[in-house]
């Protein structure tokens, strides 16, 4: 049969096909049986059968589709046989490129049995082009219908995504509803508390790594959850970007937020970001992990955090101080003379603009002390010093500590198992000496760090008397220095007026949130 015509068979089926019935593989087999019989009746030799299951007709990244195109370009067969033109593609651009363009150059004859499409038949081209347009219109309508259904579900607050955000899992009884994952939710709450205390994203990531807490991707991988790309766990370490995404995500307050991005078109996998006004936002769809007031305080802290003086450290009132006349946020500036930095000042952010506003300059340390004194008075009204001895000692976070002990113990057990498996692989010659020693040292270092952290957690806490607790509480309430998190929580804004040149007086007005 060396002189026989070599024929390639291409089959495809996807979830978009209306005629999909029963098992996918059975439908593929039916296509193959039909096409094999068709080829046999004509005495064609079957070169290969190409199969793509669960791939759209508009998908250009189908594995066997691209393998078939490479073989066609290499002239390894003379006929490409499909059940219909839509099985080959629903994209009109691909119809023109291959069926009417490259296939004739490569000496490939295209035959679609159900459509009576055959590039060898003269006058058949217009029918194939009409089929191509119909297939593309069908795909476009289908895409629009699917988007309409998804948008309806989003408006109803149903979760339609894949793997949910860290801290939640899908309800086994309803995959469109989210449930709190207690272990991860505890970590999320701690991240928000640290941010409110004034800790930066990088510092929070360092604290999480020091405690041996796996990052979201590693956490999902360890539990066998889907939706994590290979190698995306980053060795299980946290970074500031991951922390920032958690701190900015409103879904932790019980609000379902979806539709932040969309595909450019049904023919492209590229995504574009949508403006906030076009997001789908539905409240009270799932249990909140973070209280709304805490979330808002953290958002204000993140938005107002300003860097100055070259140190990268925000001052306690960063972003809260505004010009009393034009309302612009006042920026920090520091004079440097003879290589030494002098005191820092705040001035109107529009001062640099030509005629924008006047300086409204105020010395930063004096303003901070003035505001701190007002905050102390505010706090004294809520918690007077004479009431401190009557306050009970704050209970330890036993639940959080116990949860952390559990996580560390589990990771320690997995590290020990990994070491044993590594030794066995070395004995059997599956791992080379250099790779063995590198992996062995890595596992031992991780094991030592986990053991050290676990030992610190299991050490008995030092007893603290009520008097000691009261003294410590008194020291904290002195607010020296003023905690940035507390300032952001209590103060809406601090307005600074222009200094009176004659009297030297400068008005400062504090607007409280409560």
Percentage, residues of the chain above pLDDT 90: 12
Return the residue matching tokens 């002990």: 405
How far apart CA 39 and CA 33 sit, in angstroms, is 10
On average, the pLDDT of the chain sits at 76
Same domain, 274 and 322: no
Which of 257, 284, 301 terminates a domain? The answer is: 301
Label residues 448-482 b or e (16+ Cβ within 10 Å = b).
ebbeebbeeeeeeeeeeeeeebbeebeeebebeeb
**What is the per-residue pLDDT across 435-470, written as a single tens digit (0 to 9) for each?**
667 666 766 766 777 777 777 666 655 554 545 555
Cβ atoms < 10 Å from Cβ of 426: 17
Q: Any idea what DSSP says for residue 198?
A: T
Residue 435 lies in a domain: yes
Residue 291 lies in a domain: yes
Angstrom distances, CA of residue 204 to CA of 80, 193, 213? 59, 10, 12
pLDDT bin (cut points 50, 70, 90) of residue 307 is very low
**Domain tally, the chain:** 4
Same domain, 297 and 310: no
**Using omega within 30 degrees of 0 as the cis cutoff, is the peptide bond preceding 481 cis?**
yes
Task: Domain of residue 489: give its range.
Answer: 305-391+476-512
State the average pLDDT over residues 234-247.
85
Extract the tokens encoding 101: 């363009």
Q: What are phi and psi for residue 403, nearest 5 degrees? A: -65, -40
How far apart CA 78 and CA 204 sit, in angstroms, is 63
Tell me the pairing of strands 174-180 and 256-258: unpaired
How far apart CA 27 and CA 33 sit, in angstroms, is 10
The full 3-state SS of 352-390, as one line of letters, equals CCCCCCCCCCEEHHHHHHHHHHHHHHHHHHHCCHHHHHH
Same domain, 356 and 496: yes
Would the pLDDT of 388 be above 60?
A: no
How far apart CA 189 and CA 184 sit, in angstroms, is 9
Residue 276 lies in a domain: yes
Same domain, 253 and 321: no
Same domain, 183 and 137: no
Would the pLDDT of 395 be above 50?
A: no
Q: Which residues contact residue 40 at a Cβ distance below 8 angstroms, ignoring those fewer than 6 apart?
A: none
How far apart CA 407 and CA 386 sit, in angstroms, is 42
pLDDT at 477: 61
Extract the tokens encoding 67: 């393998």
Same domain, 403 and 457: yes
Same domain, 356 and 414: no
Residue 157 lies in a domain: no
Cβ atoms < 10 Å from Cβ of 78: 18
Same domain, 112 and 215: no
Under 8 Å between Cβ of 258 and 228 = no
Residue 197 lies in a domain: yes
Q: What is the CATH number of the domain that holds 72?
A: 3.40.50.1390
Burial class of residue 503, CB neighbours in 10 A (0-12, 13-18, 19+): exposed
Residue 265 lies in a domain: yes
Which of 89, 119, 152 terminates a domain? The answer is: 152
Residue 1 lies in a domain: no
State the average pLDDT over residues 364-378.
87
User: Per mean pLDDT, which range of 31-40, 91-100, 161-170, 447-456 is the poorest?
Assistant: 447-456
Burial class of residue 143, CB neighbours in 10 A (0-12, 13-18, 19+): middle
Q: What is the CATH number of the domain that holds 262?
A: 3.90.1750
Residue 121 lies in a domain: yes
Same domain, 40 and 99: yes
Which of 100, 125, 152 terminates a domain? The answer is: 152
Q: What are phi and psi for residue 281, nearest 5 degrees? A: -130, 115
Element (H, E) at 293: helix 292-304
Measured in whole angstroms, the distance separating CA 336 from the mean position of its chain's CA atoms is: 42
Would the pLDDT of 22 be above 50?
A: no
Same domain, 115 and 16: yes
Reduced to 3 states, what is the DSSP secondary structure of residue 52? strand
User: Per mean pLDDT, which range of 36-50, 228-242, 481-495 is the poorest?
Assistant: 228-242
Same domain, 376 and 442: no
Q: Any idea what DSSP says for residue 290?
A: S
Percentage, residues of the chain above pLDDT 70: 68
pTM for this entry:
0.47
Under 8 Å between Cβ of 53 and 87 = no
**What is the per-residue pLDDT across 75-126, written as a single tens digit (0 to 9) for each?**
999 999 998 888 888 887 888 888 888 999 999 999 988 887 888 887 666 5
Same domain, 77 and 143: yes
- Paired strand residues for 405: none
Q: Any idea what DSSP says for residue 252?
A: G
Task: Of 177, 180, 202, give the one whose Cα is nearest residue 191.
Answer: 202
């Amino acid at each position: 049969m060396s002189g026989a015509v070599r024929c390639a068979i291409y089959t495809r089926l996807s979830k978009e096909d209306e005629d999909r019935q029963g098992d996918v593989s059975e439908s593929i087999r039916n296509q193959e049986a039909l096409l094999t019989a068709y080829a046999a009746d004509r005495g064609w030799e079957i070169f290969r059968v190409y199969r793509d299951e669960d791939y759209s007709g508009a998908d250009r990244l189908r594995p066997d589709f691209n393998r078939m195109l490479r073989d066609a370009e290499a002239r390894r067969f003379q006929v490409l046989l499909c059940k219909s033109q839509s099985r080959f593609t629903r994209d009109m651009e691909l119809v023109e490129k291959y069926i009417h363009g490259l296939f004739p150059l490569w000496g490939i004859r295209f035959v679609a049995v159900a459509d009576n499409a055959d590039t060898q038949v003269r006058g058949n081209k217009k029918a194939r082009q009409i089929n191509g347009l119909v297939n593309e219109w069908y795909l476009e309508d289908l895409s629009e219908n699917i988007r309409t259904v998804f948008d309806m579900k989003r408006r109803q607050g149903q979760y339609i995504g894949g793997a949910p955000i860290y801290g939640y899992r899908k309800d086994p009884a309803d995959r469109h509803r989210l449930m709190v994952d207690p272990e991860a939710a505890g970590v999320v709450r701690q991240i928000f508390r640290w941010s409110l205390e004034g800790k930066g994203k990088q510092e929070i990531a360092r604290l999480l790594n020091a405690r041996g807490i796996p990052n979201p991707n590693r956490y999902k991988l360890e539990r066998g959850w889907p939706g994590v790309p290979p190698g995306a766990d980053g060795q299980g370490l946290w970074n500031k970007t991951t922390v920032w995404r958690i701190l900015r995500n409103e879904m932790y307050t019980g609000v379902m937020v979806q539709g932040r991005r969309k595909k450019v078109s049904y023919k492209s996998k590229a995504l574009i970001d949508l403006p906030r006004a076009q997001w789908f936002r539905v409240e009270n769809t799932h249990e909140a992990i973070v209280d709304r007031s805490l979330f808002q305080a953290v958002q204000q802290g993140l938005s107002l955090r300003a860097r100055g003086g070259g140190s990268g450290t925000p001052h306690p009132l960063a972003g809260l101080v505004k010009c009393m006349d034009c309302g612009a946020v006042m920026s920090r500036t520091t004079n440097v003379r003879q290589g030494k930095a002098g005191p820092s000042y705040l001035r109107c952010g529009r001062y640099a603009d030509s005629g924008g506003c006047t300086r409204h300059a105020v010395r930063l340390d004096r303003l901070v002390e003035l505001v701190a004194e007002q905050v102390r008075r505010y706090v004294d009204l809520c918690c007077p010093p004479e009431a401190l001895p009557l306050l009970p000692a704050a209970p330890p976070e036993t639940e959080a500590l116990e949860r952390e002990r559990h996580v560390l113990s589990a990771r320690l057990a997995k590290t020990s198992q990994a070491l044993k498996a590594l030794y066995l692989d070395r004995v059997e010659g599956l791992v080379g000496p250099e790779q063995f020693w590198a992996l062995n040292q890595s596992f031992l270092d991780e094991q030592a760090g986990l053991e050290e952290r676990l030992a610190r957690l299991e050490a008995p806490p030092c007893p603290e008397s009520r008097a000691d607790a009261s003294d410590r509480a008194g020291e904290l309430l002195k607010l020296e220095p003023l905690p940035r998190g507390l300032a952001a929580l209590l103060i809406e804004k601090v307005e600074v007026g222009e200094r009176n040149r004659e009297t030297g007086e400068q008005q400062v007005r504090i607007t409280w949130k409560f």
